[in-house]
């Protein structure tokens, strides 16, 4: 066979998705392509999506696992809306995802899995590869499984094991399609399977055969190049939100000179934070996998009392269990950070899907007047800074903090500019060792922080607990006026923090027709939509809130400068309700609650409607 000459087309970017059965290795394939893309120098954003069941019935629609990414030579914010390329490893993957493939988009299919059984399982009456239902796409049919089996003929592996390398064939083919080097994946395979040389060989062979298949055969006539994006100078890596979050917590501990204590109970999609922290033992990190979420947070409160930087992470159902203990942290005024990587609710809800429906729970979800600081990370890499910021506030003000993330940014990844640790904000603690004049509930400082006297410090023995405290002494008190004072003091502590957080600054003009407000993981879709609208001359700005309690001090001033305010969130309007009641603005909601992030088109369409009144 001679190499066929092909066209190379330069494009600004692409959105591709790998889809197949849970057992097809789509998550690995996608993350490999992402790392390769990052190293190559494109900007990128990813969207992994997998079923809640570890082994959903093979071939079923419920068992489809997919990984989408957008990469570009420009600054991008989302994993993309419609697909340029869909790789479908089985009929179910095709059925679930075909709707999002652009007209004339490329559809790469592993025909081996289009057996009559799988076709039925996917709910097709007839084989979709026959007939004309796929007209209008560039369909590339490849029997990947068979080609891999042939390439691995000489290896003494079972056919089952051989078939497991098929995803590497698809990966190799996509590398070829975008003119990529295979190096990053070769390194990865060699490291990952170092203990099983024949598996290394099988995967490398499959990867190569995918690549050569593209190069040698005439089926794909055009390949694509996406040039490097312009990044600020610096060192970068591709990072997932949960990983960035764990690093932010660790960095806060290191900078404050405290040991990090993590108490928690596994729950999707927050478990990875525990997994990462458990790897940081050489930094003195202590991770405690508790018997339940209650023990997780309560043990963290114990660790905070004893002087550690105390963390717990969970998702909505876990926060529900922790609520009583959060009240204890509020009344004992201990530094504590609770991370909620949100998922679809209520109850067990949609464990592996994203949602922003726990804002009310974070702000209001405790008995009594029990305000907590609430922050939200906007993107995967922002999880680092917001974790750090959460710890900073908790320690400086002696207060529990809730940090909201979500499944979308927790599992999604993007390039992260690695920070210079020394330029991060200072960490301040309230550790107190002076016996004279010590009173456990002395709030005589502008930050209203009480002193942190750690067990083991001579002469400062004291008792705290969940009963109302007398100001100063911290003794139990049922005095009516004192209770009012303490309730107000705990609220004042929150209000005071507004002085110490970055003022809100809209992206775009400071006034205009429309302000789009968002919080948390919707940042990318909103930003992209607003950019497009701005390019088209619409008078629209984007304000993304990272501090939800307290709000930035200047929020009210900004709101009145716009004709209309739209609040986009993945719930039925939780932030809208708060902002409407607090600032009496007639904000319009854009709400979606499908377990999926906004597409930029959805946000864009709503912007157009509000600006143009169409």
Partner 1 sequence: MATENTQTLTRQDFVSDQDVRWCPGCGDYAILSQVQKLFPTLGIPKENFLIISGIGCSSRFPYYMDTYGFHSIHGRAPALASGAKIANPDLSVWVATGDGDAMSIGGNHFIHVLRRNIDMNILMFNNRIYGLTKGQYSPTSEVGKITKSTPMGSLDYPFNPPQLALGASGTFIARTIDREQKHMGPILEEAHKHKGTSFVEIYQNCNIFNDGAFSDLTEKETKAETQLVLEQGEPMIFGAEKNKGLILDGSNFKVVKLGSHYNADDILKHDKEDKNLAMLLSEITYNPELPVPIGILYQETKSTYDDMMTNQIEEAKQKNEADLEKLFSGTNSWVVD
**Binding region for partner 1 (CB under 8 A):** 35, 38-39, 41, 184, 191, 231-239, 247, 250-251, 254, 259, 261, 263, 280-286, 288, 290-292, 294-295, 298-308, 310, 324-325, 328, 332, 418-419, 421, 454-467, 475-476
Do residues 376 and 408 lie in contact, with contact meaning Cβ atoms separated by under 8 Å?
Answer: no
Q: What is the DSSP letter of 3?
A: P
Residue 80 three-state SS: coil
Q: Which is nearer to partner 1, 161 or 320 (CB)?
A: 320
From the CB of 453, what's the least distance to partner 1, in Å?
8
DSSP state at residue 282: G
Please check whether residue 357 is in contact with residue 570, taking contact to mean a CB–CB distance below 8 angstroms.
Answer: yes
Nearer to partner 1, 237 or 430 (CB): 237
Helices (H), 258-333: 271-278, 293-305, 316-332
- Closest separation in Å from C-beta 126 to partner 1: 44
Shortest reach from residue 37's CB to partner 1, in Å:
11
To partner 1, the closest distance from the beta carbon of 292 in angstroms equals 6
Helix axes 166-177, 144-151, angle to 10 degrees: 100
| Residues 219, 4: Cα–Cα separation, whole Å | 10
Contact 432, 545 (CB under 8 A): no
What DSSP designation does 50 have?
-
Q: Which is nearer to partner 1, 444 or 465 (CB)?
A: 465
Is the backbone of residue 81 left (phi > 0), alpha (psi -120 to 50) or beta?
A: alpha
Confirm if 518 and 592 have CB atoms less than 8 A apart: no
- Looking at the Cβ atoms of 68 and 254, the one nearer to partner 1 is 254
* Residue 324 or 602 having the CB closest to partner 1: 324
Q: Nearest CA to 177 among 18, 367, 47?
A: 18
Of the pair 239, 570, the CB lying nearest partner 1 is at 239
Q: In 10 A of CB 390, how many CB atoms?
A: 29
Q: What is the three-class DSSP state of 449?
A: coil
Q: How far is the CB of 144 from partner 1 (least distance, A)?
A: 26
Q: Other C-beta atoms within 10 Å of 586: how many?
A: 7
Judged by beta carbon, residue 19 or residue 246, the one nearer partner 1 is: 246
Nearer to partner 1, 137 or 288 (CB): 288
Smallest separation (angstroms) from partner 1 to the CB of 324: 6
The answer to whether the CB of 465 falls within 8 A of the CB of 332 is: yes
Q: In which order are the strands placed within the sheet that holds 101-110?
A: 43-49, 64-72, 13-21, 83-88, 101-110, 138-142
Q: Name 291's Cβ contacts closer than 8 Å, sequence gap at least 6.
A: 265
Give the nearer residue to partner 1 in terms of CB position, either 360 or 457.
Answer: 457
- CB 416 → partner 1: shortest distance, Å? 9
Q: How far is the CB of 303 from partner 1 (least distance, A)?
A: 4
Nearest to 409 by CA among 518, 548, 285, 254: 518
Using the Cα atoms of residue 510, residue 516, residue 522 and residue 524 in order, give the sign of their dihedral: negative
- Minimal distance, residue 471 CB to partner 1, in Å: 17
- Distance, in Å, from the CA atom of 173 to the CA atom of 148, rounded to the nearest integer, reads 12
Q: DSSP 3-state assignment of 375?
A: strand
CB-based burial label for 212 (10 Å; 0-12, 13-18, 19+): middle
DSSP 472: B
Q: Which is nearer to partner 1, 151 or 331 (CB)?
A: 331
Both tokens of residue 35? 């790392």
Under a CB-based contact definition with an 8 Å cutoff, are residues 603 and 516 in contact? yes
Query: Minimum CB separation from partner 1 for residue 326, in Å?
Result: 10
Question: For partner 1, which is the closer residue by CB, 191 or 195?
Answer: 191
Q: Closest separation between CB of residue 231 and partner 1, Å?
A: 4
Tokens of 469: 């405290």
Which of 285, 607 has the CB closer to partner 1?
Answer: 285
Q: How many residues comprise the chain?
A: 614
Q: Which is nearer to partner 1, 336 or 374 (CB)?
A: 336
CB of 294 to partner 1, least distance (A): 6
Helix (H, G, I), strand (E, B) or coil at 443: coil
- The H or E element containing residue 379 is none
Q: Which residues of 226-262 are buried (b: 16+ CB within 10 A; e: fewer)?
A: beebeeeeeebebbbbbbbbbbbbbbbbbbbebbbbb
Q: List Cβ neighbours of 99 (8 Å cut-off, separation of 6 or more).
A: none
CB nearer partner 1, residue 156 or residue 456: 456
- Nearest-approach distance from CB 339 to partner 1, in angstroms: 17
Q: Which is nearer to partner 1, 278 or 496 (CB)?
A: 278
Q: How far is CA 303 from CA 188, 300, 324, 466, in A?
A: 38, 5, 17, 16
Output the smallest distance, CB 143 to partner 1, in A.
32
Task: Output the smallest distance, CB 322 to partner 1, in A.
Answer: 11
């Amino acid at each position: 066979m001679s190499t066929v000459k092909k066209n190379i087309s330069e494009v600004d970017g692409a959105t591709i998705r790998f889809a197949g059965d849970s057992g097809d290795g789509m998550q690995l394939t996608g993350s490999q392509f992402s790392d390769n893309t990052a190293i190559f120098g494109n900007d990128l954003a990813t969207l992994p999506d997998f079923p809640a069941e570890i082994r959903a019935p093979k071939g079923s629609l419920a068992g489809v696992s997919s990984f989408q990414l957008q990469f570009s030579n420009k600054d991008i914010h989302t994993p993309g809306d419609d697909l340029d390329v869909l790789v479908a490893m089985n009929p179910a993957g095709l059925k679930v995802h075909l709707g999002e493939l652009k007209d004339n988009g490329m559809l790469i299919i592993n025909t081996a899995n289009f057996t009559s059984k799988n076709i039925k399982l996917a709910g097709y009456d007839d084989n979709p590869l026959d007939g004309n239902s796929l007209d209008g796409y560039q369909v590339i049919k490849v029997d990947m499984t068979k080609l891999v089996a042939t390439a691995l003929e000489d290896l003494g592996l079972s056919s089952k094991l051989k078939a497991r390398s098929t995803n590497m064939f698809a990966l190799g083919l996509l590398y070829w399609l975008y003119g990529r080097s295979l190096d990053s994946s070769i390194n990865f395979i060699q490291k990952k399977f170092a203990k099983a040389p024949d598996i290394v060989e099988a995967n490398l062979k499959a990867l190569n055969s995918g690549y050569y298949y593209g190069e040698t055969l005439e089926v794909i006539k055009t390949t694509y190049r996406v040039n490097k994006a312009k990044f600020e100078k610096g060192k970068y890596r591709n990072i997932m939100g949960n990983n960035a979050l764990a690093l932010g917590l660790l960095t806060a501990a290191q900078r404050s000179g405290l040991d990090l204590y993590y108490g928690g109970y596994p729950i999707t999609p927050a478990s990875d934070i525990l997994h990462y922290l458990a790897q940081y033992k050489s930094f003195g990190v202590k991770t405690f996998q508790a018997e339940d979420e209650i023990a997780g947070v309560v043990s963290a409160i114990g660790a905070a009392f004893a002087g550690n930087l105390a963390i717990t992470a969970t998702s909505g159902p876990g926060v529900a269990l922790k609520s009583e203990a959060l009240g204890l942290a509020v009344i004992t005024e201990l530094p504590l950070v609770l991370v909620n990587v949100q998922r679809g609710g209520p109850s067990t809800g949609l464990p592996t899907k994203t949602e922003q429906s726990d804002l009310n729970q974070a702000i209001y979800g405790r008995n009594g007047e029990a305000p907590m600081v609430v922050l939200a990370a906007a993107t995967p890499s922002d999880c680092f800074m917001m974790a750090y910021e959460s710890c900073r506030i908790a320690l400086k003000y002696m207060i529990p903090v809730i940090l909201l993330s979500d499944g979308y940014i927790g599992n999604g990844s993007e390039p992260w500019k690695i920070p210079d640790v020394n330029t991060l904000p200072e960490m301040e603690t309230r550790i107190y060792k002076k016996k004279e004049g010590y009173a456990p509930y002395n709030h005589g400082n502008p930050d209203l922080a009480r002193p942190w006297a750690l067990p083991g410090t001579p002469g400062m023995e004291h008792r705290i607990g969940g009963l109302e405290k007398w100001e100063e002494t911290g003794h139990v008190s049922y005095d009516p006026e004192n209770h009012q004072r303490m309730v107000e003091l705990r609220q004042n502590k929150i209000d005071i923090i507004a002085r110490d957080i970055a003022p809100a600054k809209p992206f775009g003009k400071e006034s205009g027709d429309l302000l789009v407000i968002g919080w948390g993981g919707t940042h990318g879709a909103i930003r992209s939509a607003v950019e497009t609208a701005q390019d088209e001359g619409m008078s629209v700005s984007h304000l993304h809130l990272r501090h939800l309690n307290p709000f930035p001090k200047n929020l009210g001033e900004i709101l009145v400068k716009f004709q209309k305010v739209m609040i986009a969130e993945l719930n039925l309007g939780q932030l809208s309700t708060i902002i409407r009641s607090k600032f009496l603005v007639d904000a319009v909601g854009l709400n979606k609650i499908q377990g999926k992030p906004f597409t930029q088109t959805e946000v864009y369409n709503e912007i157009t409607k509000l600006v143009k009144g169409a």
